[in-house]
Amino acid sequence: MGAVSEKVRYELFQVPGTINTRSLVLWVDEKYFDANTTLVAGTTLTNFMSAKEIPKGDALDSYGSLVYTGQEERANGCLRFCFVPAFSAEDIATPVLSIAEFKSAMRWPAVLENLYAANFLAKDKEGANYLADVTYIPYVKEGYSDATRTLEETFVSQTKFNISLSASFRPQPIQFYYGVGSFSLSETLHPLVEFNVVLGPDNRYPSQSFTASFPATNYTDWPASMIVKDEQKFVNGLWIRTRLTAYKPGT
């Protein structure tokens, strides 16, 4: 949508998620600018470059309170200045559009939930018990790679958003050798895992100690939700943010 007069040109754009709210792009001839021209974000259209008396025409009738946020690319010898409504903090934090749906498959790695140690004892020649072997039994929640419930939200603001993604999963394997045996587990999310095995002494060998420590992974279980996409772009004076949240399987 646009409006043109003899000396004024501006374009109006619908603010996403609204019906009657508009942003405005004002075209201004380059002749109005020199080395001393200063542009201040947040200045209303009414007060914008008032010292230069740039033509604004009937744009002031309905849109004088819109605030300057930045520029689009120049065109046809004109600079193009963007003006938008002044959004409140609540407006900025409230999505203008929400779409809940199932997206394509997302990988949720296996999770080590518990690790049980079964000790096997033997008797030495004096009849005393000693640890002869250990068997480790892991309890693992299986990984999931299928359709995941997601929520896509769109936000708008006159200023740039602070955006951030959730850290991606970094599962790690576990491999522990302890003389008479070993324990291995393919990549999982897991808490701190520590091993401390003291074997013997038996009739042939003295006591043997084996220790190992595997730090907790960045997640120890599936979080309730993860932000898997968070992007923004500057369009017609507005910062438009798209955020995609994925929810753990089964929720």
pLDDT tens digits along 4-13: 444 678 999 9
At 159, which amino acid appears?
T
168 is a domain residue: yes
For residues 45 and 120, state if they share a domain: no
Looking at per-residue pLDDT, the higher value among 38 and 118 belongs to 118
Q: Which residue has the higher pLDDT, 50 or 75?
A: 75
Does residue 91 sit within a domain?
no
Taken in order 35, 39, 45, 46, is the CA torsion positive or negative?
A: negative
Strands (DSSP E) along the chain, which ranges? 2-4, 9-14, 22-29, 67-75, 78-84, 97-108, 111-123, 129-141, 144-157, 172-177, 182-188, 193-199, 208-214, 225-235, 238-247
For 65-104, the pLDDT digits (tens) are 999 999 998 888 889 999 999 999 999 999 998 888 877 7
Number of domains observed in the structure of the chain: 2
Reduced to 3 states (helix: H, G, I; strand: E, B; else coil), residue 52 is helix
Q: Give me the pLDDT at residue 5, please.
A: 45
Q: Is residue 158 part of a domain?
A: yes
163 domain-assigned:
yes
Q: Could you tell me if 137 and 103 lie in one domain?
A: yes
Whether 107 and 209 map to the same domain: the answer is yes
Among 26, 61, 86, where does a domain finish? 86
Integer Cα distance of 248 and 105 in angstroms: 12
Over residues 144-190, the pLDDT tens digits come to 999 999 999 999 999 999 998 999 999 999 999 998 889 999 999 99
Domain annotation covers residue 11: yes
Asked if pLDDT for residue 247 goes beyond 80, the answer is yes
Using one digit for the tens of pLDDT, what is the confidence trace for 197-238?
A: 988 776 566 788 999 999 999 999 999 999 999 999 999 999
**Residue where a domain stops, chosen among 46, 63, 86:** 86
